[in-house]
């Protein structure tokens, strides 16, 4: 099970943020403090923000889709409403629930575990606050609460999933920008949506996080984007940060063995010299 987030229909209402906080009883993020980041008052995913709606302003021509009946200045078609020099991109970000989850691999206590739905969840009562998972996550998703010491992140509403319910964010989304279901079904839907957008002239439409051949072998939460991933603050080529650990340990073991042999040889030579 997983999420498909279609950013092309996100309206930036933040219903997902509110629903996530209410259901999971997350603390507030200074809601009345301005960040100078457009309408964004949470800035990024954190221990107290498990869904984050990003607002990206772009200075570029915006043309109405060809099928809308609105005139296109240069005869083309582009995603957007009306015409002008400013385009808004809005996207609801969340933990990616990676197939190769570095956070899970480095956790020394077993606090992070893979659920029966394929998602990755933190057990707060087992977390010792070491923070290894924070630095291991290639997306910068996991965060520690300084006043608590433990790490927190999206659980994809594991408690709701167990009862056959839709996660709170997807349930609250008024435009169905956030969709929940079996990943294979979501991928079919997403690919059809990309084809539709490109048919309408949105050549930049692309899927992100769906490829089982990428650096984390695909995500349990993937996205339809209207620009490059880095525009949305997403890494263009995410990689499992623990992928090289086996070879590193082999090299370390070989180096240690070589050192031990050298020390043993030195002692043996010294003893022969004494005799």
**Residues 228, 107 share a domain:** yes
**Residues 264, 128 share a domain:** no
Per run of 10 residues, the mean pLDDT along the chain (length 275 residues) is 95 94 88 69 88 87 54 38 71 93 90 93 92 90 89 94 94 96 94 94 91 82 93 87 57 66 73 60
pLDDT of residue 3: 95
CB environment 224-243: b (16+ within 10 A), e (fewer): bbbbebebbbbeeebebbbe
pLDDT of residue 187: 94
Asked if residue 197 is part of any domain, the answer here is yes
Asked if residue 237 is part of any domain, the answer here is no
Cα separation, 127 vs 149, in Å, equals: 9
DSSP type of residue 205: -
Helices (H), 94-212: 102-106, 132-136, 158-162, 168-172, 183-199
**Strand arrangement of the beta sheet that strand 206-208 belongs to:** 178-181, 2-6, 221-225, 206-208
Half-sphere exposure of 105 (CA within 13 A, CB side): 18
**Residues 102, 64 share a domain:** yes
Helices (H), 80-138: 102-106, 132-136
pLDDT of residue 75: 33
**Residues 265, 218 share a domain:** no
pLDDT of residue 85: 74
Q: Could you list the residue range(s) of the whole structural domain that residue 273 is in?
A: 244-275
Strand partners of residue 49: 46
pLDDT of residue 74: 37
**Residues 226, 249 share a domain:** no
- Overall pTM > 0.85: no
The number of domains in the chain is: 2
């Amino acid at each position: 099970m997983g999420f498909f987030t279609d950013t092309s229909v996100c309206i930036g209402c933040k219903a997902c943020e509110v629903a996530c906080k209410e259901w999971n009883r997350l603390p507030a993020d200074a809601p009345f403090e301005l960040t100078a980041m457009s309408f964004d008052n949470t800035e990024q995913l954190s221990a107290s923000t498990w869904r984050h709606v990003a607002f990206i302003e772009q200075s570029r021509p915006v043309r109405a889709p060809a099928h809308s009946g609105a005139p296109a200045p240069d005869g083309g078609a582009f995603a957007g409403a009306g015409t002008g020099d400013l385009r808004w991109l809005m996207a609801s970000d969340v933990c990616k629930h990676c197939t190769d989850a570095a956070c899970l691999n480095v956790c020394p206590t077993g606090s992070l575990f893979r659920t029966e739905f394929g998602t990755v969840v933190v057990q707060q009562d087992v977390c010792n606050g070491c923070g290894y998972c924070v630095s291991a996550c290639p997306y910068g998703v996991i965060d520690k609460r300084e006043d608590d010491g433990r790490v927190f992140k999206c659980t994809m509403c594991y408690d709701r999933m167990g009862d056959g319910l839709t996660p709170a964010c997807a349930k609250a989304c008024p435009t169905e920008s956030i969709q929940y279901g079996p990943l294979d079904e979501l991928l079919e839907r997403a690919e059809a949506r990309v084809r539709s957008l490109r048919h309408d002239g949105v050549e930049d439409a692309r899927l992100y996080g769906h490829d089982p051949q990428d650096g984390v072998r695909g995500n349990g939460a993937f996205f339809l984007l209207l620009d490059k991933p880095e525009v949305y603050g997403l890494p263009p080529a995410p990689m499992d940060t623990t992928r090289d650990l086996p070879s590193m340990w082999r090299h370390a073991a070989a180096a240690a063995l070589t050192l031990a042999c050298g020390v043993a040889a030195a002692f043996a030579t010294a003893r022969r010299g004494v005799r």
